[in-house]
């Protein structure tokens, strides 16, 4: 299926919206890294239906946690049986609980 042809105005609006979402996601992850925002708070925001949060990759969120790098994040994801490409909105209840228990 071919992508729809966008007018220059539609393209500019889509690019502006995408930039805004990227900035908001970056700010959220920076708040997690700084300790201003907890993992539980982010998961609660996703449960309330915030699309930007739901579409964030779980790996990026875990790596933003203080004290977690790529190796620890990969181990936590494997222990919680979460695929490396999973997004926050796609987590099941058991996976959410496993993340919260491991980072508590």
Q: Residue 44: its pLDDT value, please?
A: 95
Q: Residue 84: its pLDDT value, please?
A: 92
Query: Helix (H, G, I), strand (E, B), or coil: what is residue 43?
Result: helix
Can you give the pLDDT of all 104 residues of the chain as single tens digits? Answer: 788 888 999 999 999 999 999 999 999 999 999 999 999 999 999 999 999 999 999 999 999 999 999 999 999 999 999 999 999 999 999 999 999 999 87
Quote the CA–CA distance of 34 and 1 in Å, as a whole number: 43
Q: List the structure tokens of 49.
A: 């239906």
Please state which CATH number belongs to domain 15-103.
1.10.8.50
DSSP secondary-structure letter at 3? P
End-to-end CA distance of the chain: 45
Q: Residue 42: its pLDDT value, please?
A: 95
Quote the CA–CA distance of 103 and 74 in Å, as a whole number: 13
Q: Residue 16: its pLDDT value, please?
A: 97
Q: Residue 19: its pLDDT value, please?
A: 96
Residue spans of the domains in the chain: they are 15-103
Q: Residue 28: its pLDDT value, please?
A: 96
């Amino acid at each position: 299926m071919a992508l729809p042809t966008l007018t220059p105005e539609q393209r500019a609006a889509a690019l502006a919206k995408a930039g805004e979402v990227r900035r908001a996601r970056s700010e959220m992850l920076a708040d997690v890294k700084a300790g201003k925002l907890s993992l539980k708070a982010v998961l609660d925001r996703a449960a309330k239906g915030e699309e930007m949060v739901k579409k964030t990759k779980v790996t990026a969120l875990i790596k933003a946690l203080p004290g977690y790098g790529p190796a620890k994040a990969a181990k936590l994801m494997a222990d919680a049986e979460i695929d490396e490409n999973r997004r926050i909105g796609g987590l099941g209840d058991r996976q959410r609980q496993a993340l919260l228990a491991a980072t508590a």
